[in-house]
Chain A
Amino acid sequence: MSAPDTVLKVADLGVSYGAATAISRLDFEIRRGEFVAILGPSGCGKSSLLNAISGLMAPSRGRVVVDGDELYLPRSRDPRLGYVFQAHRLLPWRTVKQNLEIVLAASDVPRETWDARIDEILGILHIAQFRDSWPMRLSGGQRQRVSIARALLVDPSYILMDEPLSTLDEVTARSLRQELTGICQRTGATVVFVTHSIREAVYLADRILILTRGPSTIFEDYRVPIERPRDYDDARIAEVEADIIRRIQAPWGLGPAEERQSA
């Protein structure tokens, strides 16, 4: 039995394409309000996992339950999710506000409340002044903020973030990373955050699901032993990062020289 505040439950999940197995077996649960990072080496079946838990593609085996509704049953609906993609995936021919409205229209939010909600969320993300701009006129960081706003807006069961900061320059990524924790606390959002960066995972997450090399299983469900607020440059973060690197060296098959690549 899962706890009553379980948002996402993945049981006995397996994905294979013909003879090739991407995910051999995964079991985990995510609770309301949690910030969980998923950390895995390249080629660990990450996109298969994302597709399976977001409802995009049925797994070969196992169950995905979002907010009590099991996905991939004949009559189940797509889950209500927020998704922050690696690239922003905004509609370039619609303004920021229109991009958000399209999503609101698709999720039965009463029309009278749209304006207030949009203004509130844009305020939280500090992009209220770009409400009527076209995405192409914004910087990479601003576009990703809009993308996060879109994910928060639909009142999702949980938000899936797929390396959302990996395409940004380090300075921009830093400031957005810093804000992200605060935003999630303010909105009470549940986040599943996929990343290659161990330090990022340690800084942001309550828990880190460390996957093995593909075909993946969970190598370790790692609880980050650092209280909030955290400081990205704090020595304790570096310590935990070093600890994790030590643990994964064998299962990820890393020599010391390869550490950097995976980070």
Chain B
Amino acid sequence: MRIAEKRAWSVSALLLLLPAWWIAHRSTTFIASPAEVFVHLPGFLADPGTWLNIGVTLWRVAAGLALGVAAGFFAAFAMRHSRLLREVLGYYVTGALRTPSAIAAILAVAIFRGSEAGYIAVVAFITFPYMAVGLRDGLESADRELDELAQIYHLGLWPQIRHITAPFVAPFIFSALRNAHALAWKVIVVAEIFGAARTGFGAAFEHAWNYMLMVEVHLWLLVFMAIVLLAEYGVIRRLETFVFRWRG
């Protein structure tokens, strides 16, 4: 199928959302009209308060993700180091994987008493197992390759990492990072709502909802989605394409 036709289908799917939105607006009391939302959009975007809240959430996601990635790397290398550590950390990873983010958020609020560190800790806690497992699988697949290649060619440590470990592990890191990133955005909202945050997207959204400011609810949602999509398609996937440009 031609690219133009594909694009036409994609665009028509998105365009159909507008009439769908409008119909939803007409048939319910709580969905604002698209026109009204778009009229308020410029003012909303010009408001420094909007960007303050978004900035806070962005900071929490970035810091939590960075911590989660670091912890995941650490755990993965430790798990590769010994069988015992692998077993032990395996339980920690499972425990973190299995904890619903709402419960993690509640516990974090209790432990950190609503301080900024709590939100960051929740994001890190929820994302770390995904990084750990993804990276561990990558290292294992590189290990197998490495055993054969390195033995045949007697490679030094740096060439080993550069030519064998890194290319093998990179795809695993990226897919883990994408999962962790998408999850981080989901978690932070839950954490902000359940953690009774005073600033951030979740707080602003909940405030708007509690006072039934439906236009504002829609505006927050739109901006949030735009930022998530921008981060995934504009940053992470770009970076991925750049790293894997040699694949042709």
Q: Do chains A and B touch in the complex (CB under 8 A)?
A: no
